[in-house]
Structure 1
């Protein structure tokens, strides 16, 4: 029996508007002529109920490049790293860590509306949510709430502020200082985010890497090490995990671990970066709500 294929003309952008809720765009740079898609594979994707699994199915079916999945440029056409100006996401991560209060070892939190450069802390988000017409008033002892209760309250009572697709949520944690680190800038920063309904894990590094893919080994206290490919983008100091399902799967594993170790090559040396995870599960509810998982 001959398999039935569906062919898409890739000489111009192709839009597939599917009843199942997926909008798929193929850019002309992704191929030179046409792509043959097995009808059985297309039917499988169309019948996939879960939104994220359905998107992952189409990515695999059409062979979405890893540079697209990771949000970075391919190594072939990527510009040379520049040390003149940090990328905005790295600037935000460093600003969040500079604002960390003395003795605060937990995850730092920032929120913004999509398209806005105004960032709110968790207490500020709660105040905004309380002011929204749909939100109930906060408890009288709101300033005395621990971070865990505050994060849960923000997720359960966000007014319209955490609606998927409208909210950006960022969490940062610096690496546990290595013995040779003398300044905060010498420490890598792990950033978890929901941006416009897309979940992403990133490493902000003190020194730039060559742009393109890098192998990273992830260890937790329990379970075998996981080896993944992350992409160095922007000026080379931002190492980004594949967005969406891959980042969600990693964060889901990390939230139950007391700490994780990320090992990768930096300046021809293998570096093991240690990050504490103890209150990650407590701080995730707003991020998960904003990204619907």
Structure 2
């Protein structure tokens, strides 16, 4: 085949219309992809090991997680890679309705882009992702990160931990351009958990427990029976209020009220019995255990799909 030689006018027109910087960059990317595809095909034919790319994206309730999912979908298509999307539920972060709905939207988007969606449970997000990636032969992990300064008092980030847990896996970070909006919205959501109506509920239950305790005292019941009344009050507060703020505060106030009205000497915060500090500790632990149990019970209300995703 003979090469075509442009005339002067044709060459000038080609330089102006076709050989632009954008087109040349696009051609270079196409050439690199073709070379990468050829190398992968050769390795697949000659190597006894599985060399196909497997890209994992981390799902979250952030509205900008959609950008991360779409970017990884394009990467998987370019590299002819297996595409997996994973969400880790640490069972400790209380998610509001808006965030839960956004998470569902992100999960549906990943499924629409042909991702295999999986749900993991665990307190250590970095460890769960790293172990899942190693077991599933993941070659690349993509995670979104907000552009903000780190505190000097904070420990390692999730990305740093994953680099230590899975040093052989490539980790890519996609900046979150809309992090300022999401950070402000998250702060508002966290403030919503501190609601004054929960405070009225908590102190109302404590007041009711005090009235019942006074009745028990008049009837000659021992202090141990009155302590049980306050313990039940703390348990009810843990169930009826959101977050651990009011339940923890209620356990402290209950001990102080019990100490003030029902221990000797009465109407003072002194106590002769050395066992009351253990009573306070027991109330405090009971409040935390009840709140954790209530949170896990609420999480089970959502049905689990075929891939383990709550809907």
User: Would you tell me which structure has more strand in proportion to its own residues?
Assistant: 1
Q: Which has the larger radius of gyration?
A: 2
**Which structure has more RCO (C-alpha within 8 Å, separation ≥ 6)?**
1
